[in-house]
Amino acid sequence: MQPFKYIKVPDTPAAIRAAGINQAKFIAGGTNVLDLMKLDIEKPRQLVDINQLSLYKIEELQNGGIRVGALVKNSDLAYNPAIKKNYPLLSEAILSGASPQLRNMATTGGNLMQRTRCPYFYSTDFACNKRVPGSGCAAISGYNRMNAVLGTSDHCIATHPSDMCVAMAALGAVIHVQGAKGTRAIPFADFHLLPGQTPHLEHNLKADELITHVELPPLAYAARSHYLKVRDRASYEFALTSAAVALDIQNGIIKAARVALGGVGTKPWRSIAAEQVLTGLPPNTASYQKAADTAMLDAKPNKDNAYKIELAKRTLVRALTTTGEIS
Amino acid sequence: MDNSQEDQEAQKTGTTRRQFLGQVGLASAGLQLVPLLSKAGSMLPDNEAAPAEPVTVSLMVNGSRKTLTLDTRVTLLDALREKLQMTGSKKGCDHGQCGACTVLADGRRINSCLHLAVMCEGTEVTTIEGLAKGEELHPMQAAFLKHDGFQCGYCTPGQICSAVGLVREGHAHTDEEIREQMSGNICRCGAYNNILDAIKEVQTA
Ligand SMILES: Cc1cc2nc3c(=O)[nH]c(=O)nc-3n(C[C@H](O)[C@H](O)[C@H](O)COP(=O)(O)OP(=O)(O)OC[C@H]3O[C@@H](n4cnc5c(N)ncnc54)[C@H](O)[C@@H]3O)c2cc1C
Ligand code: SF4
Ligand code: FES
Ligand code: FES
């Protein structure tokens, strides 16, 4: 790990001032940034500890939505009664990720910003456009069983690893940030970037911008929702595929649906096309299968990950079936 | 963060990094490869900044206050083991993957290998050394002994701290839930069934 200066800031303005200089990085839970610093993948000269900021609240809003502070721990969010009741898919997604210890440390903001687990990104012995722009992508020609099939480019095929983000993508959460130039609200779909020719650019934040909170919009039918994660072992493992879904079923017809996939995309992957296919159909296997085929229509496999296309479809069909049966 | 670096660069040079890479193509890619190919290169500081000064931190560990002067890079785990000679907490992976380093921070279980010591000012840290009351074992320690919840013992301090945290959190009731909630602690000896029995005994007591 490279030496760095450690600064503990008391409030948001101080955090923003400290962030813009000296290749600074914020540290919240530390579970991703320290992991990467130990491996010399991230080398900030200054670490800005934001844990003193008062961003720990989960507030129910007048409009029926919920506002989540950036420092709310993943475990506190997952077990929050209002989240469990109104957005079960989010609670389930978070609890399917990492371990209880890590969830006690990890924060909402840090989870949004976590970086890929692509093994070649994690080893400085290999070429990786994300780690060293322009150096090449060892995964494309290498062992790519864990890599993405949607949203990939010739420069990077890394998956976005977060479970929480898949549920937030389905919900259409809004990320609120504050920087030297003021505040902004970023729709979830615009927050993470596709790799394109610049896989090292992963999100929409400026250097001095801090995530202050995430707003979950009101979505009454999200009470009927579910997150399903498929992985190599039963627990404590990243997704091979996952699906976050919500269904609005009235009089035996799907009135509206939300569908997002994890483990397959270079960013948390909402499929509006699959949602549109489901709308107006009866909640049955044929409809779910149609939605799954639509969601994976543009999938592009590599040498070792073609299995993910079928697995993702089955994961989605299963998640929709379970959700459809929720009374 | 990279976006705005690009903005700043664009302001300075009238071109963005992206355009620049496009313009010079392979020449620039070759330059980027240098640090990748030379391992030693990655050990050198990235800019001229002097190494960070050591900092003084006051830790509350098992009820007693310890003041330490540390390099900012020292994790809570290394501070406990190397500076305070409290070697009960173990280092398995040093990357949050095994749970051997689990301690309680303000009563909640965390991985001390992914937490900086300097961040612990004001936190009550409890390690395996702090669970017993004098000669009287913590009920979880006694239950691990009774049920043979270990073989080599390397993962055990982490397992016990994690189990204490699990009971306090109160989210695990069935066998399946307890197993899931203990999944952050790996045991190479495979003492899982006995660990489960130990936790159940404490929970029902
Ligand atoms: C062994 C292991 C297994 C894991 N398994 C899973 C899994 O199965 N599923 C899953 O989803 N995740 C998993 N994770 C990842 C984990 O969820 C993330 O590490 C965690 O969510 C990061 O949150 P943090 O608060 O610790 O972030 P930090 O490490 O503190 O920060 C991460 C990044 O976010 C930035 N940041 C933090 N807060 C803010 C803010 N408010 N504004 C702007 N930038 C900010 C930091 O500068 C840094 O770049 C796993 C991690 C480990 C170590
Ligand atoms: S897939 Fe992306 S992260 Fe993985 S090696 Fe290629 S460029 Fe790097
Ligand atoms: S040493 Fe901390 S989790 Fe393995
Ligand atoms: S007792 Fe040996 S690793 Fe668990």
Q: Is B77 helix (H, G, I), strand (E, B) or coil?
A: helix
Range of the domain at B170: 55-204
Query: Is A103 contained in some domain?
Result: no
Contacts of A132 in chain B (CB under 8 A): 32-33, 35-36
Can you give the CATH number for the domain in which B158 is found?
3.10.20.30
Note whether A199 and A156 are within 8 A (CB).
yes
pLDDT score for B51: 63
Query: Is A47 contained in some domain?
Result: no
pLDDT of B138-166, one tens digit each?
Answer: 999 999 999 999 999 999 999 999 999 99
Query: Is A48 contained in some domain?
Result: no
Contacts of B51 in chain A (CB under 8 A): 3
Query: Is B126 contained in some domain?
Result: yes
Name the least confident of A30-34, A66-70, B7-11.
Answer: B7-11
Residues A28, B45: Cα–Cα separation, whole Å: 24
pLDDT score for B139: 98
Q: How far apart are the first and last CA of chain A?
A: 52
Alpha helices in A119-255 (DSSP H): 138-141, 164-171, 188-191
pLDDT of A310-326, one tens digit each?
Answer: 999 999 999 999 999 99
pLDDT score for B8: 45
Q: How far is B189 from chain A (nearest CA, A)?
A: 18
Q: Taking CA atoms, what residue in A is nearest to B30?
A: A135
A257-277 burial: b if 16+ Cβ within 10 Å, else e = bbbbbbbbbbbbbbbeebbeb
Q: Is the pLDDT of residue B34 over 50?
A: no
pLDDT score for B22: 33
pLDDT of A106-145, one tens digit each?
Answer: 999 999 999 999 999 999 999 999 999 999 999 999 999 9
Tell me if B45 and A3 make a contact (CB, 8 A cut-off).
yes
Query: Is A35 contained in some domain?
Result: no
Contacts of B6 in chain A (CB under 8 A): 201
Can you give the CATH number for the domain in which A303 is found?
3.30.390.50
Q: Which of B8, B28, B33, B36 to mutate to test the interface with A (most CBs of A within 10 A)?
A: B36
If one compares B20 and A246, the residue with the highest pLDDT of the two is A246
Q: How far is A249 from chain B (nearest CA, A)?
A: 31
pLDDT score for A61: 97
pLDDT score for B39: 34
Query: Is B105 contained in some domain?
Result: yes
Q: What does chain A come to in residues?
A: 327
Query: Is B142 contained in some domain?
Result: yes
Average pLDDT, chain A: 97
Confidence of residue A30 (pLDDT cuts 50, 70, 90): very high
Q: Is the pLDDT of residue A19 over 60?
A: yes
Residues A88, B35: Cα–Cα separation, whole Å: 46
pLDDT score for B12: 40
pTM, full prediction: 0.92
Helix %, strand %, coil % of chain B (to 5)? 45, 15, 40
Query: Is A314 contained in some domain?
Result: yes
Tell me if A25 and B18 make a contact (CB, 8 A cut-off).
no
Q: Is the pLDDT of residue B35 over 80?
A: no
Average pLDDT, chain B: 82
Query: Is B118 contained in some domain?
Result: yes
The interface pTM score, or ipTM, of the predicted complex is 0.96
Measure A200 CA to ligand 2 centroid, in angstroms. Answer: 9
Q: Which of B111, B155, B160, B187 to mutate to test the interface with A (most CBs of A within 10 A)?
A: B111
Query: Is B29 contained in some domain?
Result: no
Residues A59, A83: Cα–Cα separation, whole Å: 10
Q: Is the pLDDT of residue B24 over 60?
A: no
Contacts of B27 in chain A (CB under 8 A): none
Overall domain count for chain B: 1
* Strand A174-179 to A210-216 pairing: antiparallel
Which residue's C-alpha comes closest to atom 3 of ligand 3?
A: B96
Overall domain count for chain A: 1
Average pLDDT for residues A258-262, to the nearest whole number?
99
Query: Is A288 contained in some domain?
Result: yes
Q: How far is A108 from chain B (nearest CA, A)?
A: 16
Average pLDDT for residues A290-312, to the nearest whole number?
98
pLDDT score for B11: 42
Answer whether A7 contacts ligand 2 (Cβ < 6 A). no
Name the least confident of A260-274, A280-294, B3-17, B143-157.
Answer: B3-17
Query: Is B186 contained in some domain?
Result: yes
Query: Is A257 contained in some domain?
Result: yes
Q: Is the pLDDT of residue A39 over 60?
A: yes
Query: Is A252 contained in some domain?
Result: yes
Q: How many other C-beta atoms can be found within 10 angstroms of the C-beta atom of residue A54? A: 10
Query: Is B72 contained in some domain?
Result: yes
Residues A166, A243: Cα–Cα separation, whole Å: 8
Range of the domain at A234: 226-324
Helix %, strand %, coil % of chain A (to 5)? 30, 25, 45
Confidence of residue B19 (pLDDT cuts 50, 70, 90): very low
Torsion of CA A113, A118, A124, A127, to 10 degrees: -110
Q: Is the pLDDT of residue B31 over 70?
A: no
Mutate to test the pocket of ligand 3, among B82, B111, B159 (most ligand atoms within 8 A of CB): B111
Note whether A273 and A297 are within 8 A (CB).
yes
